[in-house]
Amino acid sequence: MIARLLSLIAFCMAALAHAAEPAPIVRVEVGGNGAQRPAVVGQSVQISVTILAPNFFMSAPVFPTLQVAGAVITMPDDRAVNSTETVGGVSYAAITKTYVLTPQSAGDFTLPQPEIPFTYAGGDGKPLSGSVTLPPTVIHAGGQVGSGAPGAASGVQANVGTLPAGPLQITQQFDRPVTGKDAHLRAGDAVVRTITIVAPNAPAMMIQPPVLEAPGGVKLFRADPKLSDGVAGAGETPGGRRVERVTYVFESSGTHTLPAVTVKWYDPASGKPSEAVAPAITVEVGRAGAGLGLAPTGDPFSGEDWWPAWLDGRVFAGLVGLAVIALAAFGLRRRMPAWWHTQRKAWKAAWRELRGPLPPLNP
């Protein structure tokens, strides 16, 4: 009887001790414009989710992928941020993960509320199973003003997902010198132009594909674009990146201007669309050397490069003279047999007249 009573007392004490264990905490913070004022379509909003567990984590929580209709939610950085906090005199281990929500249409977006399980250490150091559920979180996004798209009400577009809201960074580079004293381009040469577009704090899919064109006398070959999120180069803000690679093949010599590359974005501060531009480049292309360059396409006499560089006026006149002599000789050769046969008959007739009749052999 006493043993049973002691067991019951021990069980109650353990239950009370377990009930006294501090519980895990979850905290959601909406950063950027979503915290103080509505965001606009195409403007990315950072959402920080922090899970706090007493003592320390024994298994890291797996942050789920979030999906919301009408918006794109990404996790630009796969790595979570670890820290410690003291809440109510209790030491907590904290793990923070950042999501980025980019609305593609105007309206309210309610984040899903998944349950996130994990394991943490209890007061006695033994593992405890815990979980948290994301609290209800609503983000409001307004339309882009002055978009000029159909369906806009009072100058506000209610469903626009093509322009990223924020300044785009655009750069270009070539695989060889195209201007200056180091540029030595000839007809038939190829040049690769790489256009890099970065949308800070926005997914790469929000960047509009730029228009890439080539002037007359230049062929353009466009490679598939490369999209990536959460990356940044030197001096760049992390965000979505779109890399376009195009090859120009110069079919003719002369001066060629490779057009500027323009991408559009929306400026929330001014409420107007804006542009980022990679400037046009003017290149000088010389004639191809003998035996070099590409075979011409289309009409071979439509441009200037069908005339070889070595064929100047004097050489051309000499070749024409040789051609005339050759044609005359060829025609004379064809007419010679008939002329010779006629002359022989005429000479024989004249000889017979001069000689007169032959005397008899036996007078």
Q: What is the CATH number of the domain that holds 127?
A: 2.60.40
Same domain, 26 and 141: yes
Count structural domains, the chain: 2
Same domain, 103 and 193: no
Same domain, 139 and 185: no
- C-alpha span between 267 and 342 (Å, rounded): 98
121-127-129-133 Cα dihedral, nearest 10 degrees:
20
Q: Quick check: is 234 in a domain?
A: yes
Same domain, 63 and 136: yes
Give which of 281, 260, 276, 287 is closest to 191, Cα–Cα.
281
Q: Quick check: is 335 in a domain?
A: no
Interval 113-150: pLDDT, tens: 999 999 999 888 889 999 999 999 999 988 887 654 33
Q: Quick check: is 222 in a domain?
A: yes
Q: Quick check: is 88 in a domain?
A: yes
Point out the domain boundary residue: 266, 286, 306: 286
Neighbours of 122 (CB within 10 A): 16
Q: Quick check: is 349 in a domain?
A: no
- C-alpha span between 131 and 116 (Å, rounded): 5
What is the extent of the structural domain holding 115? 22-145
Does the model's pTM come out above 0.85? no
Same domain, 141 and 173: no
Same domain, 33 and 115: yes
Angle at 133 between CA 15 and CA 66, to 5 degrees: 155
Interval 63-120: pLDDT, tens: 999 999 988 888 876 678 899 999 888 999 999 998 988 888 888 999 999 999 999 9
Low-confidence ranges of the chain (pLDDT < 70): 1-20, 32-38, 77-78, 146-162, 231-238, 289-317, 328-341, 343, 347, 351, 353-363
pLDDT, position 166: 79
**Who contacts 129 (Cβ-Cβ below 8 Å, separation ≥6)?**
117, 119
Q: Quick check: is 295 in a domain?
A: no
Give which of 261, 263, 264 is closest to 246, Cα–Cα.
261
